[in-house]
Amino acid sequence: MHDKALADITEVVFLPEQCLLLGLGFKGYQPQAAQTLLPIKQPPPCELSEVDKCYNRLLASVRVKMEQVIRRTCKV
């Protein structure tokens, strides 16, 4: 089952002040209360601007750190 499909059937309640950092596998997923941050996808004939690339790198670095914490927690 894909990430978005699983998220759609899961009844997780988010608070309005929560912000979700999502990968492109969650494109189209919008929980009612929380804000979502997705990387910017490159349009086919164009290049991303430097600002868009910087934004994507920032999101990726935060997501990697969070995924490492989750991985360490699951090993215990």
pLDDT digits (tens, 9 = 90+) for 4-44: 888 888 888 888 889 888 888 888 888 888 888 999 998 88
pLDDT for res 7: 84
pLDDT for res 39: 94
Q: Containing domain of residue 51, as a range? A: 3-75
CA–centroid distance for 38 within its chain: 5
- Domain count of the fold of the chain: 1
Strand partners, 20: 36
pLDDT for res 76: 67
Nearest by Cα to 5 from 27, 21, 20: 27
Mean pLDDT value across residues 56-66: 93
21 φ/ψ angles, rounded to the nearest 5 degrees = -95, 110
- The model's pTM is 0.73
pLDDT for res 50: 96
Which residues lie below 8 Å from residue 58, measured CB to CB, with a gap of 6+?
none
